[in-house]
Structure 1
Amino acid sequence: MTAPTITPYRSELPPARDGFPQLLHAEWTKLRTVRRWSLTLLAGVVITVLVSLLSAFSGSSSVSGDRSAPPVGPHGGVVSDSFPFVHQPLSGDGSITARVSPLTGREGRAPEPWAKAGLVIKESTKAGSPYAAVMITPGHGVRLQSDFTHDTAGGTVDRDRPHWLRLTRSGDEFTAYESADGSTWAKAGTTRVAGLPETVQAGLFVATPEETMVQRQFGSTSVGGRPARVTAAFAHVTVDGGQGAWPQDTVGGGVGGGLKGTPDSATEKSGTWTLTGSGDVAPYTPDVDIAQQSLAGAQIGLIPLVALGVLFITAEYRRGMILTTLTASPRRGRVLVAKAVVLAGVTFVAGLVGATLSFLLSEPELRDRMPNPLFHPDVALTDAPVLRAVVGTAVLLAAVAVLALALGAILRNTAVAVTLMVVALVLPLVLLSGLPLDAAQWVMRLTPLAGFAVQRTLPDYEHVDAVCMPENGCYPQGPWEGLSVLCAWAVVLLGVAVWRLRRRDA
């Protein structure tokens, strides 16, 4: 008798899978089904927006003052454009040449590093009009500058000897030359200034930014300035293509105009012109970054996200659920990475909502409360620097949450991990004003605090001296560089957490 054939049992259910997509789904399910975690996430958004609004409404109120429109340069931004100008018309192509003496400061003081004396070809004497200029500076050698925002470095300058300069025009192209003796010339650079008329003004100028004074002590920093004044002599002045006499003018008031009571002056003796003046020729950089201030709430709004990041791992240890998680997916490192991906995605979305609302609600109020809003033009969410700051704020909040997750996995203690995270991110903000400036800037370069540099939207110009005070939100590095430091901290700490999770008991 033949034995019956027995067919092995086969389950009708599909085989279980523990791939990475399934891990992501499992971690997402955990996050969204725990109500207090959802409330913590919402709290991060609400706190970010509320603190930003409180910061906007608690700032200085609008005050009466000079509401005259500031000069605007060819690039559309506010500029400083104030200096004594000895000039004559230049029709068509041509050049201007002169030997320029070293600059001397007022009352024997050393001139500012970005004080300048040189040759300029300018559309007109109107403040903000297009120009190209070659100049000597005490601290930065020969420079070719144009339309306020463009700057090209030339050669070095002997502070004790005159230096020869030449500026030529060929259509829209301007070329600067320099010489130590007036015989051997070297090219300093080339720039283009579009849209100039056939007849322009070519001449001599001097200018200097204000003297800046910084007083810094724990809990208090004051930055002040006073108008400076410089003098330079111009000999062997020739203009190829020039016409007529040499009128003496002062280009319009600009931002931080001439020194009151001692007007700019220009005198001529035996063919040598001596110019004395203040003012400046440079882009104007506001003291306050309104877009950055509108996102200030993120510094406090990150605290609930830190708590969420820590709890997302320590809660499983506290309840013993981590054993179930690691049994279902024995590849421990992949479990922690899945948690990090889900947490980063959720906090990025929440951070983007909070940052967007903070900017849209706070920026108009902040601008209106400036002493002179005319120096703070409206900015839109779609402007590239603002969009980068808003999206970057969401990225930094996500990175902070992942950093907290990693620290929680390493320490397995909620209270200790949350405390360390808050101390690392908030305490430096309190202590920065008490550190020497160099030390404070290194803290902002190397700690996770560097990530907040992504919120800064003001442009940095190499040819404009600016006092970068940490307590005013000025970071010594660029926005993406700062955010990269924070992300590096998160990646490295997550790597350490994965390594430790694989090598010790759950």
Structure 2
Amino acid sequence: MTTTPTRTVPPYRSALHPARAGFGGLLRAEWTKFWTVRAWPLVLAIGAVVTVVICELGASGSSVGGGPAIVVGPGGEVVNDSFRFSHRTLTGDGTVTVRVTGLRDRSGKGLGPWTKAGIIVKASLKQGSPYAAVMATPGHGVRMQWNFTHDKAGPGSDLAKAPQWLRLKRLGAKLTGYASVDGQKWTRLGEVGVGRLPGTVQVGLFVAAPVHEIVHRSFGGTSEVAGSGQATGTFDHLAFQGRSTDNAWTATDVGAPAPGGPNSQPGTTTVSPTGTYNLTGQGDIAPDENSPDMVQMSFQGVFVGLLFMTALGTLFVTTEYKRGLIRTTFTATPSRLKVLAAKATVIALITFTTGLPATAIGFTLAKKTLRSNGFKPPEFPDLSLLENPASRAVVGSALLLTLVAVLALAVGVVLRSSAGTIATVVVLVILPQILSFALPLPAAQWLLRVTPAAAFAIQQGVTYYPQVQHNCLPESGCYPLTPYHGLAVLVAYTAAALLLATWTVRRRDA
């Protein structure tokens, strides 16, 4: 019996560079695949153009004009600066101490949580001038605030339960606030600098009562309940130490409302023989958050652009499943996870490098149009592309387009259906944004916290300060999460979808 010798076949070795035969080669193959299918670059280009055009059209339909005079704070921000002030001059260093014994709403409707009664050191009587104040509030305890945007919590005791002793001390360029419940043991709230103070400043007692509005929205419509904007603060044990050119306290309405206008009642100040001061006033000392969000208004085209990026991410993978070409891909590259990673990387690079110029151009054109329609400084700062929040919104919007495309790709791997994938992503990302305009506010804000639509918060240009009560309405461009936290929700959804897609390609047949 003759034995035929066995011939050993050497294993296949690619002639390509290892990087090209590995993940680098997959990236190149997927990149080439994308540009070979003519419909995909067309969808990408149309999506970019539509994003820019809708940004411009949205801006052209918006205008602003009239309204009250704008007050600008030390940092260039628009502020509210109106209150009842019983004051005198202080030259050099000095201290003011007082006890706040009561704070009540004049109409009996109830105090707003940020109604304020306390003591203040202010550079001048001019609205928007630097200041520091220590105050008692009915809803947030004792606070130290300065230059409108800064707020620091003090002891949280309730003014309704115990009077609050307050003290404000000037020493050079520093202002230090103190609080006490008995006038003996003092808690230091903080030492702050408010900028360049003149040698002579205004010090004294103040009361500010912002109008607080409560918005209720149901399926039948929206209702608004406004609380009173005038309150009375009661003070005693007023003590002043320092040099002053005044012999007595002078009462002034800083930022007095226009006669005959809304909330036009002047403030009052009375002093009893026992030295009890009653100040009745209105207004607020805080950032003004009532202006439209010009930055957010410049990105209306991104909402429509998401539809094209959703379709692009979906077709990039479901087309191969539909035509059976995915079997060829997995045969050529048995490591399916590398194939998924290459597809996700390529679609992310393509959508981001296209989306970033689109959002930058869209913002620039929309900003120019809004400027011509009345959105001008100082109420609406002239932001360049390299300044926050504009730069954050531009890059964040490009990331929003990118993440949605990758999310669509991952969902497409799981569902293997173009129609089902597009519908799923639209329901997750776009539908909650639409529903938030109609649902009751608690439900709307819940949707914008737990769904990928939270990522639209990255386009917010207005800073919402915690020391200002405001109604966060989705139709006004306000979101319950901060810009980066909102984007993080979409990142989490995308990561979860990719993990599910990874599990799917390893478990299922091609």
Query: Structure 1 length as normaliser, TM-score?
Result: 0.93
- What does the per-residue CA deviation read over 1:12-32, in whole Å, with 9 as the maximum and x for residues that have no partner? 982475311111111111111
Q: What secondary structure is seen at the aligned counterpart in 1 of 2:206? A: strand
Residue 455 of structure 2: aligned partner:
451
Distance 1:84 1:218 in 2: 41
350-359 vs 184-193, which moves further? 184-193
Residue 218 of structure 1: aligned partner:
219
Residue 4 of structure 1: aligned partner:
none
Residue 308 of structure 1: aligned partner:
312
Residue 33 of structure 2: aligned partner:
30
Give 1:439 shift. Answer: 2.1
Task: Find 1:272's aligned residue among 269, 276, 284.
Answer: 276
Distance 1:12 1:463 in 2: 67
Residue 76 of structure 1: aligned partner:
76
After superposition, the Cα gap between the structure-2 partners of 1:314 and 1:255, relative to the gap in structure 1 and judged at 3 Å, is: farther
After superposition, the Cα gap between the structure-2 partners of 1:255 and 1:132, relative to the gap in structure 1 and judged at 3 Å, is: farther
Q: What CA RMSD, in Å, does the superposition of the two structures yield over aligned residues?
A: 2.4
After superposition, the Cα gap between the structure-2 partners of 1:108 and 1:472, relative to the gap in structure 1 and judged at 3 Å, is: same
Residues 167 and 177, structure 1, Cα contact 8 Å, conserved in 2:
yes
> Counterpart of 2:434 in structure 1: which amino acid?
V
Residues 96 and 240, structure 1, Cα contact 8 Å, conserved in 2:
yes
- What does the per-residue CA deviation read over 1:440-481, in whole Å, with 9 as the maximum and x for residues that have no partner? 212111111111111112112111111111232211111111
Give 1:299 shift. Answer: 0.9
> Counterpart of 1:449 in structure 2: which amino acid?
A
Q: Matched residues, percent identical?
A: 47
After superposition, the Cα gap between the structure-2 partners of 1:222 and 1:56, relative to the gap in structure 1 and judged at 3 Å, is: farther
84-93 vs 328-337, which moves further? 84-93
Aligned residues: 496
- What does the per-residue CA deviation read over 1:118-147, in whole Å, with 9 as the maximum and x for residues that have no partner? 000111111011111000000000000111
390-399 vs 209-218, which moves further? 209-218
Residues 220 and 433, structure 1, Cα contact 8 Å, conserved in 2:
no
Residues 67 and 372, structure 1, Cα contact 8 Å, conserved in 2:
no
Q: What secondary structure is seen at the aligned counterpart in 1 of 2:389? A: helix
Residues 142 and 153, structure 1, Cα contact 8 Å, conserved in 2:
yes
Task: Find 1:476's aligned residue among 473, 480, 505.
Answer: 480
Superposition map of 1:406-485 within 5 A: 406-485=410-489
Residue 52 of structure 2: aligned partner:
49
Residue 494 of structure 1: aligned partner:
498
Which consecutive unaligned segments of at least 5 residues does structure 1 have?
A: 1-7
After superposition, the Cα gap between the structure-2 partners of 1:73 and 1:15, relative to the gap in structure 1 and judged at 3 Å, is: closer
> Counterpart of 1:140 in structure 2: which amino acid?
H
After superposition, the Cα gap between the structure-2 partners of 1:425 and 1:25, relative to the gap in structure 1 and judged at 3 Å, is: same
Residues 256 and 279, structure 1, Cα contact 8 Å, conserved in 2:
no
> Counterpart of 1:262 in structure 2: which amino acid?
Q
Give 1:102 shift. Answer: 2.1
Task: Find 2:288's aligned residue among 271, 284, 288.
Answer: 284
Residues 258 and 279, structure 1, Cα contact 8 Å, conserved in 2:
no
Q: What secondary structure is seen at the aligned counterpart in 2 of 1:128? A: coil
Residue 39 of structure 1: aligned partner:
42
Residue 381 of structure 1: aligned partner:
385
Query: Structure 2 length as normaliser, TM-score?
Result: 0.92
Distance 1:261 1:314 in 2: 64
Residue 115 of structure 2: aligned partner:
115
Residue 330 of structure 2: aligned partner:
326
> Counterpart of 2:105 in structure 1: which amino acid?
G
Residues 166 and 180, structure 2, Cα contact 8 Å, conserved in 1:
yes
Q: What secondary structure is seen at the aligned counterpart in 2 of 1:102? A: strand
Superposition map of 1:132-281 within 5 A: 132-158=132-158, 159-218=160-219, 220-221=221-222, 225=226, 228-243=229-244, 244-253=247-256, 260-270=263-273, 271-281=275-285
After superposition, the Cα gap between the structure-2 partners of 1:127 and 1:82, relative to the gap in structure 1 and judged at 3 Å, is: same
Which consecutive unaligned segments of at least 5 residues does structure 2 have?
A: 1-8
